[in-house]
Amino acid sequence: MLVAFLGTMHAGAVYVPVDPANPAKRNSAILQSSKATAVVVDEQTQRLASIDSAVQIVLSQGWQQSARPLEQATQRSTELSNIIYTSGSTGTPKGVATLHSGLANLLASMQRLLRFDESDRMLAITTAAFDASMFELCLPLWCGGCVEIVDEATRRDPSGLIARINNASVSVMFGTPATWQMLIARGWLGDPTLKIVCGGETLSRDLADKLLKCGDEVWNIYGPTETTICSTVEQVHPGTETVSIGSPIDRTTLQIMNSYMQLVPQGVPGELYIGGAGLAQGYYRQPELTAKSFIADPLDAGQMLYRTGDLVRQREDGSLAYVGRTDHQIKLRGYRIESGEIEAVLRDHPNITDAVLVMKGKAVADRYLEAYVVLQADVDSQAIVTHLRSRLPAYMVPRRVIPMGKFPITPNGKVDRMALANRSSEGELGSIDLPSSDLEIKIALIWRATLDREMDRNPNFFEHGGNSLLAVELLSRLEDQLGITVPFGPFYNNPTIAALALCISDEHRDLTTDGAVPLNSPDQKVPTLFCIDGVHLYQALARALDEGVPVCGIYLSDAQELLADIARGKPTQAIARPETLAKRYLNVIRTEQPNGPYRIAGFSYGGIVAYEIAQQLIAHGEQVEALVLLDAPLGRSIAKSRGMLAHIQHSLRITWLKRFATYDNEEAPDRMRKLEADHYEQRVKPYAGSALLCRAVEAMGVRRDRP
């Protein structure tokens, strides 16, 4: 990713980052809007480049040898540097076109303020599609320092991120308040040499005081994408006042004005307007929207200002205190969200006539999105969620969708959003399948205290308002109230009340050891289907086979950490090799079933390990009745390079294929999928048994858009 970014800059082209995790429709809209003429991808992300006008540049495994030196293009500071797409109030993302001069001014200012030099090392944890990632990537290179980029698996795992911080010897790190709160809640004690940079949303005094104990310096930065990432900076010191968003960086002008475009006195709230070197060119190919937000400076002829929509007041020392918003824009865990975009997507549903979005919760960890809708016909809640997820990133999907006959109205005829924000969240769409066992009820009480809602036993924690910060809180409560220690990895694999209860079991299974979890209880006395590398992943499959085949999920206590090592590019590390993992899984399987015949299944990387387990069983003289590979790269490798596509084992009926429901392989990190194939492509061994090589046809109830 860094190479692609630097190559784009070196060639004089405009950089437009696209997040592979976003829905395909959203990424397609970004590519169309930006008029991209070339798309840099790897083998796993080629599907993103779905427009005919763009040339694909594929970074293959051998790109280092095949790349030709480029002559540096002549660039003017007034030329576009990048286009960053943010949430748009009209229902589609809007592209902010920023200049080289703005980025250069930011880097020079931050180099001076942070005293960043060639001895510094920054840990980059922000996804590439957000503007703050350019600050993380470019500042170290601008100063001759070092940048260490964190992979997705580590970024979302608080324990893994803490380990990376402790082991990387970083001197500077940027994070949102939600990120820093998550680390502290997970037990991070800090680093006395670390400069902590915080931005993206309001930094509370309570969190600021905690961060001051965790590092050498704490800096609070503020700025919209339209003014190139950061416009004001403040070094945070102990105190009782709310944390200031600071004073302007170099070559930046700030104006605080009222609705009549007049300056307000010191201490009086007003809307913040920003001008200067960081000002973007506008919204790419959207002149009308640009004209509304980028206006002429009434106090300085010939200069332009960006209308932020943020209310601030100036303190006696000249710094700014953030007060609120003039519109309905939302900041949630560092993400900037236009409520109008989500409302527009909801209104596009054929059975929804109107929609309003609000944010609830006051503390960082408690904030979530809630949507209220007026229906013209009954609609299944899952259908609405499916509709939203097909168009919006996960962080923009509301935790709750609540039907109403009509919205409350203010005296001037507008929707009373304040009344909705203060309304109790009753009447949520869908029926409730209440927890049943004692353990499920205990977990549900903790679940409710964490998410502030009644929970069905089956919905996914991370799809109903949960995030990494709340997961840390939930796991801490499990340990404090029930005396059960659940590592992040098993919880991530079992993110429902029912699945977590199964995983723990009434006997309080020790999740710090490897183990097995029965997923159903059929009457037939037939061999169990052992599912590798996960429990929650295979629950839908177990339900589909409930009347015919026993299904058992096999997990390793440290599976997430091992897979994270693979994703970081360490697939040959002995502890994470398929042969080693297979032995550990096999020990658990043979404890459950000492002798064959065996049935083994594996999804994605689990399929590679399942294949190795089958090899080891055969080597020990055991019968492998069925080997089921779901979206496994190994299966494609066999079929492609060895011509060994085995016949389908008739003991597993082919009709079951239509009922498989598991996670889409596209959710796995792209780098991990590539390593899966590379690591095993040249090491496939002959397999004499039968194999069922298949592709899951549904993902969490949503049919795939590819065969």
- Quick: pLDDT tens for 364-397: 666 788 888 888 887 877 788 888 888 888 788 8
**Is 543 a residue whose pLDDT tops 80?**
no
Q: What is the mean pLDDT of the chain?
A: 77
The full DSSP string for 143-186 is HT-EEEEPPHHHHT-HHHHHHHHHHHT-SEEEE-HHHHHHHHHT
C-beta of residue 234 within 8 angstroms of C-beta of residue 196: no
**Is 212 a residue whose pLDDT tops 60?**
yes
The angle, 0 to 180 degrees and rounded to 10, between the axes of the packed helices 559-567 and 158-168 is 50
**Is 572 a residue whose pLDDT tops 50?**
no
Dihedral (C-alpha) 351, 460, 368, 420: value to the nearest 10 degrees?
40
Average pLDDT on 131-141 reads 94
The pLDDT assigned to 687 comes to: 46
List the domain boundaries for the chain. 1-75, 76-325, 329-421, 513-703
Under the banding of pLDDT at 50, 70 and 90, the label for residue 52 is: low
CATH topology of domain 513-703: Rossmann fold (3.40.50)
**Is 158 a residue whose pLDDT tops 50?**
yes
Q: How far apart are CA 517 and CA 503, in angstroms?
A: 6
Under the banding of pLDDT at 50, 70 and 90, the label for residue 235 is: very high
C-beta of residue 46 within 8 angstroms of C-beta of residue 58: yes
C-beta of residue 182 within 8 angstroms of C-beta of residue 130: no
**Is 445 a residue whose pLDDT tops 90?**
no
Q: Using one digit for the tens of pLDDT, what is the confidence trace for 76-117?
A: 556 899 999 988 766 688 999 999 999 999 999 999 999 999
pTM: 0.60
> Looking at domain 329-421, does it have CATH number 2.60.40.10?
no
Q: Using one digit for the tens of pLDDT, what is the confidence trace for 242-289?
A: 899 999 999 999 999 998 899 999 989 899 999 999 999 999 999 999
Q: How far apart are CA 99 and CA 251, in angstroms?
A: 14
Q: b or e along 593-624 (b: 16 or more beta carbons within 10 Å of the residue's beta carbon)?
A: beebebbbbbbbbbbbbbbbbbbebbeeebeb
Closest CA to 245 of 157, 337, 313: 313
Under the banding of pLDDT at 50, 70 and 90, the label for residue 223 is: very high
Average pLDDT on 165-183 reads 90
> Looking at domain 76-325, does it have CATH number 3.40.50.12780?
yes
Report the percentage of the chain scoring pLDDT > 70: 72
Cα Dmax for the chain: 86
473: amino acid identity, one letter: E
Place of tokens 């005919």: 52
**Is 696 a residue whose pLDDT tops 60?**
no
Same fold, 76-325 and 513-703: yes
- 282 HSE (CA, 13 A, CB side): 14
Closest CA to 529 of 604, 620, 603, 581: 603
C-beta of residue 334 within 8 angstroms of C-beta of residue 324: no
Q: Is 229 helix (H, G, I), strand (E, B) or coil?
A: coil
Average pLDDT on 559-573 reads 50
Under the banding of pLDDT at 50, 70 and 90, the label for residue 180 is: very high
